[in-house]
Structure 1
Amino acid sequence: MVSAWYMDDSDEDQRLDHHKNPPQPVDMKDVVNLTGVLHWKLNIDTYEGDGMLDKIKKDRGYNYEDVIEISPEKLPNYEEKLKIFFSEHLHTDEEIRFVVAGSGFFDVRDAKNDSWIRIKVEAGDLLILPAGIYHRFTLDSSNYIKAKRFFVGEPVWTPYNRPADEMPARLEYLASVQSN
């Protein structure tokens, strides 16, 4: 089951859990309300035939997909790429990831108080980050994740590092979460 919590401010290894003391868990319903992030839990053993992933892709217009494997052995320039993924940024399109193996963390900003919420993802978790949300990604201590990435049309990989507060995608995002 996906879990989320407010993060501490420690500079320790980014791959650690970074719970506050005492821990401050966040229910995924609250994550949706605070950030607009969407989540589905798919059965990793049956998703290829049960139609749930196909329905999500059809409903959201995803017509392109690929697979990324992140580990020291699988990703060229691993350490450099992990630093890039962990830099706070936004995209002008949704970021969609379906974890098929391994685990990691997506950190998203609570738009109301600008605090980090850490979302742990594992095999079967499908996460959609809205366009314009400040976020970052890192592996956990297992140092491995394999995920399907989905796009509407051709993939756009451009990250816009913070600050990008005047970008239309950011302004639209803030308007959408503030109306919740």
Structure 2
Amino acid sequence: MVAFFYHDDKDTADNFTEEHNSGVEVTEQKLKEIGVLYFNIENTDDLNSLASERNYKNRDEITLNLNSFNGDIDAFNAKMAQFYKEHYHEDEEIRYIIDGEGYFDVRDGGDKWIRAKLNKNDLLILPAGIYHRFTLSSNQRNIKAVRLFKDEPKWEAINRETNKITEARTEYVSSIKV
């Protein structure tokens, strides 16, 4: 079952895959206010319907676990660190969870982290330009997901530390101002 809550901001390099639930829940409405959409999709027909409605033309599947790195723990840990670095993309990021469990963190309008705990049948849409990060949960350290794309994927992660501001970021910030 999906859960949305404010992150407790007590993560370290050694414990970022823990739940970090501050105890303050976040509603789906609050997520919508920052452009994040959540769906529970029970079957392929419903996934295809949503993809058609939102004009997603391409998709692929990704599995993220130690086996997907041929048991190379250093390569696995390097990829996990890369995904957890705060960044945004110039396109929407869409993930439909087929199996496993993971966390997407997104920044709210006040620059606080909201954590979304996703499991099987959860689909999350992050708008272009939103700062976010991802990690597997320490419980499973495994996820299989469908990634959906409107066109060919543009997967440049624009890390916050670079201070690079693109049109996608500017448009996103304008869209959430009150």
Give me the TM-score of the superposition, normalised by structure 2: 0.91
For residues 139-172 of structure 1, the C-alpha deviation after alignment (integer angstroms, 9 at most, x for no partner) is 0011000000011111111100004463211110
* Corresponding residue for residue 151 of structure 1: 149
- In 1, the alpha carbon distance for the partners of 2:130 and 2:104 equals 12
* Corresponding residue for residue 118 of structure 2: 121
- In 2, the alpha carbon distance for the partners of 1:5 and 1:78 equals 27
Q: Is the contact between residue 39 and residue 123 of structure 2 (CA under 8 Å) also seen in structure 1?
A: yes
Q: 1:73 aligns with which of 61, 67, 75?
A: 67
Identity of aligned residues (%): 41
CA RMSD of aligned residues (A): 1.3
Give me the TM-score of the superposition, normalised by structure 1: 0.90
After TM superposition, what 4+ stretches of structure 1 lie above 2 angstroms from structure 2? Answer: 163-166
For residues 4-26 of structure 1, the C-alpha deviation after alignment (integer angstroms, 9 at most, x for no partner) is 11111213401111122xx1111
Alpha-carbon deviation of 1:72?
Answer: 0.9
Instruction: Give structure 1 stretches of 5+ with no counterpart.
Output: none
**Residue correspondences, number:** 170
Q: 1:60 aligns with which of 54, 63, 69?
A: 54
Show the 5 A alignment for 1:81-92.
Answer: 81-92=79-90
Alpha-carbon deviation of 1:75?
Answer: 3.3
- In 2, the alpha carbon distance for the partners of 1:99 and 1:57 equals 14
